[in-house]
Chain A
Amino acid sequence: MAAALGFWLNLGLGCVNPKTGGKTILRVATWGGAGDDSEFVKTVRRLRQEFEKQNPGVEVREEGIPGPGEYVKKLLQSFVAGTEPDIITLDASSAAVFIDNDVLLDLAPLIAADSEFNLNDFYENVVDIARRGSRLYAIPGDFTPIVMYYNKRMFDDAGVPYPKAGWTFEDFANAAKRLTKPGQFGFKFVNWMPGWITWMWNEGGDVLSPNGDRAAGFLDSERCQRAAEFLRSLVSVWKVAPSLSQSAAAGVDLFANGQAAMEVSGHWAMIGYKNSPKGPDGRPLLRIEDVGVAPLPSNIGKSVTVMYEAGFAIGKNCKHRELAWKYIKFMTSHRVQSEYNATGIAVCARKDVSQERAADERERMFLALIPTARAPWGAKVEGYETVERAGETAMNAIITGSKSAADALAEAARKIDKDFSRR
């Protein structure tokens, strides 16, 4: 027992003052990592090692924080205690809390002083996610506009033409009705606000006032009510989408399992599609060549979407500022991004890399949507999770029919404004 304890004391408790062996440790916070996508994990690991080789005496220590909610909580706490990592992977959906609390370094002076780095290599609206006036707090790595995926084989079987730009809610509902049959839904709906907010935008509404300080008059507006009513009809009236409990009971992505003809999601979903489970005949339930990408249907003449993005930011009190900047430049360089994006995880924020991948029809479709893609509210409004919580509670009541869209959204707007007024 004593020997075992001694072993552990030497081995583990020695970590109290980590032996760096004279090395400079660059700490990089990321969220989780892909548990069952070894190709992606391997690529990221290889790129990190390459940076270490180019910079002798430097060790890049990746700190994976699992869980999206926990990521923000843990990082905020480490900023309070002054133990934050050097580089933070900044998720656009929760960027405001970090940017507006002044814990990140303004990168604009570093960019201005660096002739090797050109911000024009990146899509402007993607860069703007982390911009406040002349200050810039993150360099975008990759991102994804939210799109409509459709299963071409199911469309062909039902004799329904593929969706194309300019389609309306009505066109979408008609297609979904014709694609629904026993064992197959026309559309997969989940009560996930980052996914359904775009239906409100494409009906001409929005959930908050333009400066993001009020929900009353916006979330409960007639346009938002119409969008919510439409979603309820899909599930409860026309029954072209599974009920919320049916979706939950399936536990998997019905689209990736060949049980739904359309779904709204981001580029990351393609990893799941490529690894679609196999049916009893040994063939994948969804063949990647059957996956089509279309803009979201819109009733306002122009399809609007949201983009979710991951950028690289440096902590304001980072001790290895130059090294951190070098790492960001390395990670956002043309060559590294080419390799990173070959994993299929997202769309590269660099124009050159994205254009090179445009030979693929699906990738080309994503690029066409970039100009109309908006930053998520969470990049602008601190504590936006309160809006998402209230929004999803309201949508639940609307879809299950326990409240009318008008009542549920008005109640949600009151709750959000009450929470905002406490800040």
Chain B
Amino acid sequence: MKLFRALGSYLLLSALAAFLAAPFVWMLLVSLHPSKAPIPTIERVVPTRFEEGHKVFDPHFENYKTVLFDSGLPVPIFLLNTVFVTACTVCLVLLFTSMAAYGLTRLRFAGRETFFRMFWLSMMFVGPVLQIPVYLIVRSLGWLDSYYALIVPGASSAFCVFLLRQFFIQIPFDIDEAARLDGASEFRIYWKLILPLAKPALATVAAFTFIATWTDFFWPLLATNSLYMRTLEVGLSVFKNSYGGNNWPMQMAATVIVMVPVLAVFLYAQRYFVRGIILGSTK
């Protein structure tokens, strides 16, 4: 009976996993069809060709080479830009939001709760409302079309401060007291004690920020003008609307190139995502 139940749940979960993975598998297979091929029907989704009367697997890996090096676009520069911007944003978000969360939980000062509520309130505004003011600020600083414009506006996040604060509250306050008695400075407590204990929450923040920055489209489009400042998401979007109709295999190859790092991070950090959602829902 137990065996049947286990078998049943495995079968059900496998079917569900296959259902959810199907679009990704489809994307991979279509990206290996010859350039400009129509969207294949389900029985032709695996790229094949006939050789002596037999169907043989015929993947067109050159699509990836074309997207990366022969598209007339500096795709390797897009990739470097995206890696650089994402890495800087993740590091800065970790630093700033953890310091803010530390201040809002471990330090006692007048108006602390008001400060926290202000952070909390800023989460109520949707992105487009803030876009024009942020754009105007970035312009008046002379940062348009630069890495500053791509990195600095995303270098802090009220959501991440909120998330870390929820975690920091759970770390026993006795630790700080003990450290203070031993003469540790506030920064030392933050850096040497709290941060190492908050690794799971920091990983959650890093993973959320990574995915949000890597896949952001509209802000990099607004903030940059020259081709060499484009990120992957913006730079490769021309494959969607080039003249002469859609080239699905190329478009899917471009999508795979954008998606693979995100997928890798997600698979590696998925438990932190789950943890992040739980953290956000308590207190």
**Stretch from A207-215, A216-224, A267-275, A401-409 that touches the partner:** A267-275
Q: Contact at A275–B244, with CB atoms within 8 Å?
A: yes
Q: Which of A15, A40, A257 contacts B243 (CB 8 A)?
A: A40
In the bound complex, residues from chain A placing their C-beta under 8 Å from that of B71 are 35-36
Q: Which of A8, A61, A66 contacts B84 (CB 8 A)?
A: A8
Q: Contact at B226–A41, with CB atoms within 8 Å?
A: no
Q: Which of B35, B148, B237, B245 contacts A256 (CB 8 A)?
A: B245
Q: Which of A16, A35, A252 contacts B38 (CB 8 A)?
A: A252
Q: Contact at B246–A35, with CB atoms within 8 Å?
A: no
- A35-B225 CB under 8 A given contacts A249-B39, A275-B244: no
Q: Contact at B147–A15, with CB atoms within 8 Å?
A: yes
Distance in angstroms from A376 CB to nearest chain B CB is: 18
- A15-B229 CB under 8 A given contacts A8-B84, A37-B243, A66-B241: yes
Interface string of B24-53 (1 = CB under 8 A from A): 000000000011111101000000001000
B144 at the A/B interface (Cβ < 8 Å)? yes
> Which residue, A42, A70, A251, A272, has most C-beta atoms of chain B within 10 A?
A251
A253 at the A/B interface (Cβ < 8 Å)? yes
Q: Contact at B225–A27, with CB atoms within 8 Å?
A: yes
B183 at the A/B interface (Cβ < 8 Å)? no
- A81-B36 CB under 8 A given contacts A34-B242, A67-B237, A271-B244: no
In the bound complex, residues from chain A placing their C-beta under 8 Å from that of B240 are 66-67
B258 at the A/B interface (Cβ < 8 Å)? no
Q: Contact at A32–B144, with CB atoms within 8 Å?
A: no
B238 at the A/B interface (Cβ < 8 Å)? yes
Interface bracket on A: 35 or more
Interchain pairs with CB closer than 8 A, number: 126
In the bound complex, residues from chain A placing their C-beta under 8 Å from that of B61 are none
- A36-B244 CB under 8 A given contacts A12-B84, A70-B221: yes
Chain B residue with the shortest CB-CB distance to A8: B84
Q: Contact at B248–A33, with CB atoms within 8 Å?
A: no
Distance in angstroms from B92 CB to nearest chain A CB is: 12
* Chain B interface SS verdict (over half): loop
B139 at the A/B interface (Cβ < 8 Å)? yes
Chain A residue with the shortest CB-CB distance to B66: A36
Interface string of A302-327 (1 = CB under 8 A from B): 00000000000000000000000000
Q: Contact at B248–A12, with CB atoms within 8 Å?
A: no
Q: Which of A18, A35, A61, A268 contacts B239 (CB 8 A)?
A: A35
Q: Contact at B73–A16, with CB atoms within 8 Å?
A: no
B116 at the A/B interface (Cβ < 8 Å)? no
> Which residue, A34, A66, A68, has most C-beta atoms of chain B within 10 A?
A66
Q: Contact at A272–B221, with CB atoms within 8 Å?
A: no
Chain B residue with the shortest CB-CB distance to A5: B88
In the bound complex, residues from chain A placing their C-beta under 8 Å from that of B36 are 252, 275, 277
Q: Contact at A35–B142, with CB atoms within 8 Å?
A: no
- A61-B226 CB under 8 A given contacts A34-B242, A275-B36: yes
User: Can you list 23 A-B contacts (CB < 8 A)?
Assistant: A12-B81, A12-B84, A12-B146, A32-B241, A32-B242, A37-B242, A37-B243, A37-B244, A61-B226, A64-B227, A66-B234, A66-B238, A77-B132, A82-B139, A83-B139, A85-B225, A249-B41, A251-B246, A251-B248, A252-B37, A253-B245, A272-B243, A280-B50
B contacts, CB < 8 Å to A: 34-39, 41, 50, 71-73, 81, 84, 131-132, 135-136, 139, 142-148, 218, 221-222, 225-227, 229, 234, 237-248, 250
Instruction: In the A-B complex, list the 6 residue pairs whose CB atoms are closest, starting with the nearest.
Output: A251-B39, A272-B244, A35-B242, A252-B38, A35-B238, A277-B36
